[in-house]
Structure 1
Amino acid sequence: MSQMQYPCANCGANIEFAPGTDVLKCPYCGAETKLAPTGRHIREHSYASFAGLPRKPIATLAPHVFTCKGCGAVTQSDRISDRCQFCGAPLVADVSPGDQVVPEAVLPFAIDRSALRTALKEWTSSRWFAPNGLKKVTAAESSHSTYLPHWTYDARTVSQYRGERGDHYWVTETYTENGETKTRQVQRTRWRSASGVVARDFDDVLIAGTTKVAPKHLDKLEPWPLLDAEPYRPEYLAGHETLRYDVEPESALETAKSRMAPAIDRDCRADIGGDEQRVHQVSTQYNDLTFKLMLLPVWIACYLHAGKTYNILVNARTGEVAGERPYSAWKIAAAVIAALVLVTAVVILIAMNRN
């Protein structure tokens, strides 16, 4: 397997992609190399054509073997890009079509370590009941920049449905209360069968292509500015980790369909009309189904507390922060005591005023 490293034209060290720029920058002498346009465009790939190709499951593929041109060390990794375990030089695998799907697009890093510190500081300062040690993550020194694989799906859907339409009407009901006969208006619903066809186009339904990051945290990092994505080129990966996908596109497609389902259901109900709706069956045809693999940038910070590691993720385009955090028992106890003291003081003041 071939690989890529980018030597500095000035000092010979390996240069890295600088977040928020269009240059590769040397971390030692500061020399910059501007990324020249490639003329490539992001393409959507026909899922029907892809489904007919021979391909091995990603889990059966061997890890990438990197040979560092700096120190000569040989390392293995299932990542598309990594760092040499011995000298820290950036390593990027030369992925090509074959057994695995090649990335089509990348959303380059825009937030550097300085902006990362700011985002983490704002996030930790708002965690009132977190231990004071949580603020250590603002140093961001142990944080690492990682591209996470995601699938996107486009489809023109046509859905046939069967259901019922419910229209409200009112009837006068007679009842007896305390020996007195009274009347009241009662709502009823008249149901009748309904069926029809609805259509909706979906664009870039985003599904995580990795199981190594908790979906609940990834979901909180949305929305992503996908329109800012660039055609894939390995230079964007230099100096950053890149996970190889472990969610197969077939599995991700089923997840994408489940994400489309609520919108289709709303369309069916709107088409049925009335005051209430029941949808019994929906049969959806997915036309012009296309997909692509893209890489999204995330800073991952770790925090160790009481023997447990907590992960904090930062969207490296928007600065949105998501993750886990521990709770400080003494801060919670102090807050409870303060609340009790306040309540007691209020009770005493009320009693004194009454007397």
Structure 2
Amino acid sequence: MTSPTHAPAHPCAGCGASVAFAPGTTAMRCPYCGLEQQIAPPTRQVREFSYEAFLAKPRVQTLAPHQFTCPGCAARTESDAISKACQFCGTVLVADTANDSQIAPEAVLPFTLDRDGARTALRSWVRTRWFAPNRLKKVTEAESMKSTYLPHWTFDAGTVSDYVGQRGEHYWVTTSYTDGSGQRRTRRERRTRWYPAAGRVARDFDDVLVPATTQVEDLDKLQPWPLKQAVPFHPDYVAGHHSLRYDTEPPVGLEQAKLHMRDVIHGDCRRHIGGDVQRVFSVDTNYSNVMFKLVLLPVWAGNYLFGGRTYQVLINGANGAVQGDRPYSAVKITLAVLAALAVVGVVVWLYLANRA
């Protein structure tokens, strides 16, 4: 099944060109004359959808690409993107997701960081790479920097977990030993008594976030995201920016979300066990009222060239957090190791001198 292209929803009132969403605003801006047109405020709230109801529906096994017909030059192209620019004339193209066989995006977190902001974030990140070569500080801009909305799933769930484990309580005993000079001495040693523990904990999860695309790695490292600022999806917010379709289905996403939930639940079990230390042997979790949605999150994705090699960098388009590959300076690392060894040597020498 294919989806038709949205014609420009708001052609520029000044010059007729297709306008694009301007990061950090609630407006569409013409890239040619600069005229801005406000995006209408949303008339509804962001919704969550029943995962159980989703499972009851027939699934689409194969997905046809979106077919775009450019309203500017009439060129016809196919793509897995939700939004992009025409490769021939640059006209803004947005697919009609309402008729897509995939789940339509429910929400979008609009870009707040524009291109200049992304450059500033990259420069700041480069300056704080301690073990990078000094020449890296001269990198001020990625060779290519593309504003991209990347699909993510969010999951809500109520959980009740039964656990089995042990509670450890510390106590102290006095023991005797013979030191290096043959003298008998005493010292206090900490021991632990273990007691069986079992119980039940409950927790409600809200907006557990997992990437819905495998095309970009390390997206988890861009968290946290201000998800409460997400708005109901509207084509105006993605116009002029690249947007990817998801390739991770909800069942796979839910299993990934459960891994995040599991870590939190294990922490709840340990706190419920109490004592000084805890062991958790097994946790049996029941999930109820599972809800989910598809949200598009803003990322500046780019590459920079250094030393003949290309490095990828991702910038959170909402708060400027940077995650990326970087080169390392062998000289700086070697000097740091030598400095650490020197410090250890001084400490050992002082210890031996005091014992003498």
- The TM-score bracket by the shorter chain reads 0.7 to 0.9
Distance in 2, matches of 1:336 and 1:168, equals 42
Is 1:323 matched up with 2:324?
A: yes
Structure 2 residue aligned with 1:56, among 57, 60, 65?
60
Kept after mapping to 2: 8 A contact 1:2/1:93: yes
Give the Cα separation in 1 of the matches to 2:176 and 2:122: 65
Mapped to 1, the partners of 2:25 and 2:90 lie a distance apart of: 22
Query: Is the 8 Å Cα contact of residues 70 and 86 (structure 2) preserved in structure 1?
Result: yes
Assess if the C-alpha contact under 8 Å between 2:144 and 2:304 holds in 1.
Answer: no
Letter in 2 for 1:252: G
Cα contact 1:55–1:98 (8 A) shared by 2: no
Q: 1:238 to 1:176 in 2, by over 3 A?
A: closer
SS at match of 1:143: strand
Distance 2:109 2:305 in 1: 30
The amino acid that maps onto 1:255 is Q
Q: 2:15 aligns with which of 11, 17, 37?
A: 11
In the TM superposition, residue 126 of structure 1 has moved relative to its aligned partner by 2.9
Q: What is the aligned-residue identity percentage?
A: 55
Q: Provide the C-alpha distance between the structure 2 equivalents of 1:10 and 1:316, rounded to a whole number of angstroms.
A: 29
The residue aligned with 1:160 is: 162
Match of 2:44 in 1: 40
CA contact (8 A) 1:150 1:208 kept: yes
Question: Secondary structure at the residue paired with 1:96?
Answer: helix
Q: Deviations over 1:8-41 (max 9, x none)?
A: 2322211111111111111112222211124021
Where structure 2 has 5 or more consecutive residues not aligned to the other structure, the ranges are: 343-356
Alignment partners' CA distance in 2, 1:232 and 1:161:
40
| 1:207 is the counterpart of 2:226 | no
Taking a change above 3 Å as real, the CA distance of residues 174 and 313 of structure 1, as seen in their structure-2 partners, is closer
Aligned 8 A contact 1:131 1:326 in 2: no
Letter in 2 for 1:9: A
Question: How far apart are 1:55 and its partner, in Å?
Answer: 1.6
Deviation at 1:5, TM superposition (A): 3.2
For 1:168 and 1:19, locate their aligned partners in 2 and report how far apart those are by CA, in whole Å: 56
Matches within 5 A, 1:99-110: 99-110=101-112
Structure 1 regions of 5+ residues with no counterpart? 344-355
Counterparts of 1:179 and 1:18 in 2: how far apart (Å)?
Answer: 79
Moved more, 5-14 or 79-88: 5-14
Contact 2:160 / 2:201 at 8 angstroms: preserved in 1? yes
Aligned to 1:257: 258
CA distance in 2 between counterparts of 1:80 and 1:56 reads 18
Per the normalisation by structure 1, the TM-score is 0.86
Distance 2:143 2:183 in 1: 79
Structure 1, residues 191-225: CA drift from partner, whole Å, max 9, x if none? Answer: 2221110011111111011111112xx23322111
Instruction: Note closer, same or farther for the CA distance 1:21–1:176 as it changes in structure 2 (3 Å cut).
Output: closer
Separation in 2 of the partners of 1:35 and 1:208? 27
Equivalent residue for 1:280? 281
Q: Secondary structure at the match of 2:319?
A: coil
Task: Tell me, in whole angstroms, the C-alpha distance in 2 between the residues paired with 1:301 and 1:130.
Answer: 20
Q: CA separation of 1:257/1:97 partners in 2, compared to 1, >3 Å: closer, same or farther?
A: farther
Instruction: Provide the residue aligned with 1:350 in structure 2.
Output: none
1:192 counterpart (168, 191, 195):
195
1:17–1:96 Cα change, 3 Å: same
The RMSD of aligned alpha carbons is: 2.6
**Offset at residue 164 of structure 1 (A):** 1.6
Q: Secondary structure at the match of 2:97?
A: coil
Whole-Å Cα distance in 2 between the matches of residues 117 and 167 of structure 1?
Answer: 53
Matched, 1:112 2:114: yes
Q: Choose 160-169 or 17-26, whichever is displaced more.
A: 160-169
State the 1:85 CA deviation. Answer: 0.9
Q: Is the 8 A contact 1:55 1:99 kept in 2?
A: no
Tell me the amino acid that sits aligned with residue 212 of structure 2.
G
The one-character-per-residue Cα deviations of 1:270-320 (angstroms, maximum 9, x if unpaired) are 111122221111000112211111011011121133553211111111111
Amino acid paired to 1:320: A
Match of 2:87 among 77, 85, 88: 85
Contact residue 4 and residue 69 of structure 2 kept, 8 A: no
What is the identity, as a one-letter code, of the residue corresponding to 1:285? N
Shift of 1:125: 2.8
Shift of 1:134: 6.5
Using the TM superposition, give the Cα deviation of residue 118 of structure 1 relative to its aligned residue in structure 2, in angstroms: 1.7
Which sits farther off after the overlay, 288-297 or 109-118? 109-118
Tell whether the 8 Å contact from 1:166 to 1:277 is kept in structure 2 after alignment: yes
Alignment partners' CA distance in 1, 2:305 and 2:231 = 36
1:231 matched residue in structure 2: 232
State whether residues 127 and 137 of structure 2, in contact with CA within 8 Å, keep that contact through their aligned partners in structure 1.
no
